[in-house]
Amino acid sequence: MPQKTQNNLPTHKIKKATKAQIAEIKSLFLQHYANAKTELHYNNLYELLVCVMLSAQCTDKRVNIVTPAFFTRFPNIATLANAPLEEIKELIKSISFFNNKATNLKKMATQVLQEYGGEIPTTQEALKSLAGVGQKTANVVLIEFFEANFMAVDTHVFRTSHRLGLSDATTALQTESELTKAFKDHLCVLHQAFVLFGRYICKAQKPLCQECFVQHLCKSTQNFKPR
């Protein structure tokens, strides 16, 4: 068994998928997850952005438990921007890193009011200018709400793409670049497909290999994690 580095990547690279294998993987994922969508519950762009910000290093299930009361209290950008920070914290206290997330949510809402006239921006760069919104969060929002041709890499996408030899990059952003280059189109569906695949089949621990539709293309069952 190969030695692992601190970021759980092997000291020697997993064999990369060939062009033919990449094409087969893409085709199979589009077949199995033709209508893949996020499992976060939301009704508009504001709610989606908040949900995605809350979901970082937290389960969608937990976010969906918290957000109904949150959106009842803060139904829009203005109410969130003007909310007492402690009240925001209280409503999301069961979410991981709730202190930082509460601070970023309030800052984000204030920025949207002051810099964008209360309208959430809809480009990657503008979204990334908001507090607490990195490239992954921006891409997920654009993928889900606008079906934009972006790839976003969370732990599920990182792990499964490395197991299939689609990437040997050590960071999420590098992996995003490799997947975008490999797949080129249908990225919005493929992103969510890989999330669902990693969440329910290609699990970090005890992957369900007997239920896997791409088992014949798998390079490793190691639990890859981004640096």
Known catalytic residues? 136, 154
Closest CA to 180 of 161, 200, 197: 161
HSE (side-chain half, CA atoms, 13 Å) at 219: 22
Task: Quote the CA–CA distance of 137 and 54 in Å, as a whole number.
Answer: 10
Given a contact cutoff of 8 angstroms between Cβ atoms, the answer to whether 188 and 143 are in contact is yes
HSE (side-chain half, CA atoms, 13 Å) at 170: 11
Contacts of 123 (CB under 8 A, 6+ apart): none
Residue 162 φ then ψ, to 5° = -75, -40
Task: Quote the CA–CA distance of 70 and 81 in Å, as a whole number.
Answer: 13
Task: Quote the CA–CA distance of 44 and 76 in Å, as a whole number.
Answer: 10
